[in-house]
Amino acid sequence: MSTTIAVSGHGFIPYEVVVGRGLLDRLGERIRPLVPGRLVVISDETVAAIYGPAALASLEAAGLKARILTVPPGEASKSFAELERVIDRLLAYELDRRDTVIALGGGVIGDLAGLAAALYMRGIDFIQVPTTLLAQVDSSVGGKTAIDTPRGKNLVGAFHQPRLVVADIDVLATLPDRQLRSGWAEVLKHGLICDRPFFDWLLGDGAVGAAGDPAALERAVIRSVEIKSAIVGEDEREAGRRALLNLGHTFGHALEAELGFDETVLTHGEAVALGCALAFRFSVTLGLCPAEDATRVVAGLAAAGLPTELVTAGTFAAGALVTRMAGDKKAEGGRLTLVLARGIGAAFVQRDVDPEQLLAFLREQGAS
């Protein structure tokens, strides 16, 4: 059994996101109609060791010619150096424009392989096979691809939509618990943006998903993809509504940057969770959101083992955080833009946030 969600919008070829169980073993037969040439599976060493053999066996069983190319696991692989190495390998394999890249891994692999596919011969097809919860609910859908530079994360990239996304819930069974919970933060984020009943379910019967229950995970991934794909379909290039997907991210990025993007201290998902808690509390401070909604958001995040208090994540200077937030690439000409909320399920983009109010709020939250 699987569920298919269609993603369509102006300016890109429509594609499907297939969510279900046991999908990796049938990957070859599913993708064969889309693939006229050869395949290169790009993965990280950890994922390749666990799922590479099954993926290759399935492709070969469907009569597809495939080889695998691995990079070291971790954010450091989203670099110019690794991108150059990957593209050099694709050239050495003499891939042509009929050939296809498969991204088998988490968001790091999706972003790196997607960008390599966008650049190779001015763009070849790629298929996303996301293996982290974060990648299944967020990064594999929507066509954002990027690498980092020493000046910041995701600063060099392209919009390049995949031809297909295959999200196999079963592969989440080997994901470390902390990674699963980090992905859960993005699931909760989707409810907070625009679907209060979904958020209620995530805090109720669906809460077992954060501990790895496959049925709850499947439903959470399906609803998250429905929400994200509807938003991306309306606004691929983030001219408007897509910015809502950044709920918790402007606060979160500032915290990650201040901590030197040290995933052992704060993962991206944990930063988003804390960012969501701060966005709701700040919305209350500004008189935009009922206090009980912020309380419920914080309780829901905490129940999933996610951080909600600034002071538990580290020691921060309020001024440094505001400077980072004003410099966020979503900010326009230094004008502070934040995703805030009128309540659970009612996020909106607030431009021209007053830096003094934000500074005072962050101090109340424990920043110096």
Binding-site ranges for ligand GLY (CB under 6 A): 138, 142, 144, 242, 245
- Residue nearest ligand GLY, CB atom distance: 245
**Closest distance to ligand GLY from the beta carbon of 63 (Å):** 34
User: What's phi and psi for 189, nearest 5 deg?
Assistant: -55, -40
* Residue keyed to tokens 């691929």: 236
Instruction: Verify binding: residue 20, ligand NAD, rule CB under 6 A.
Output: no
Instruction: Write the CB contacts of 22 (distance below 8 Å, at least 6 apart in sequence).
Output: 168, 170
- 44 binds, options ligand GLY, ligand NAD, none, Cβ within 5 to 8 A by partner type: ligand NAD
Q: Give the list of residues 6+ apart from residue 120 with CB closer than 8 angstroms, or none.
A: 87, 90, 95, 101
CB 120 within 8 A of CB 95: yes
Tokens of 57: 């066996």
Q: Is 139 in the site for ligand NAD (CB under 6 A)?
A: yes
Task: Identify the active-site residue in 78, 219, 242, 324.
Answer: 242
Structure tokens at 322: 């505001």
Count helices and strands (H / E) in the chain: 14, 11
Which stretch in 30-38, 132-140, 200-208, 319-327 sits in contact with ligand NAD by CB under 6 A? 132-140
Known catalytic membership, residue 78: no
Residues 42-71, interacting with ligand NAD (CB under 6 A)? 44, 46-47, 50
Determine whether 84 is an active site residue: no
Contacting residue, 142, 248, 275, 343, with ligand NAD by CB under 6 A: 142
Cα separation, 97 vs 100, in Å, equals: 8
CB of 354 to ligand GLY, least distance (A): 25
* Cβ-proximal residues to 307 (8 Å cutoff; 6+ apart), any chain: 266, 270, 273, 274, 277, 301, 313
Do the beta carbons of residue 183 and residue 137 sit within 8 Å?
yes
Q: How far apart are CA 142 and CA 242, in angstroms?
A: 10
Task: Determine which residue in the list 4, 149, 174, 315 makes contact with ligand NAD, applying CB under 6 A.
Answer: 174
| Residue corresponding to tokens 């077992």 | 208
Residue 154 in the binding site for ligand NAD (CB under 6 A): yes
Q: How far is the CB of 125 from ligand GLY (least distance, A)?
A: 20
Is 144 catalytic? The answer is yes
> Do the Cβ atoms of 364 and 278 come closer than 8 Å?
no
Q: Which is nearer to ligand GLY, 209 or 248 (CB)?
A: 248
Residue type, 8: S
Per rule CB under 6 A, is residue 73 in the interface with ligand NAD?
yes
What, of ligand NAD, ligand GLY, none, does residue 74 touch, CB below 5 to 8 Å by kind? ligand NAD
> Which residues carry out catalysis?
122, 144, 186, 228, 238, 242, 246, 249, 253, 268
Question: Using CB under 6 A as the criterion, which residues of the chain lie in contact with ligand NAD when the complex forms?
Answer: 44, 46-47, 50, 73-75, 78, 105-109, 111, 131-132, 134-135, 138-139, 142, 144, 153-154, 171, 174-175, 179, 268
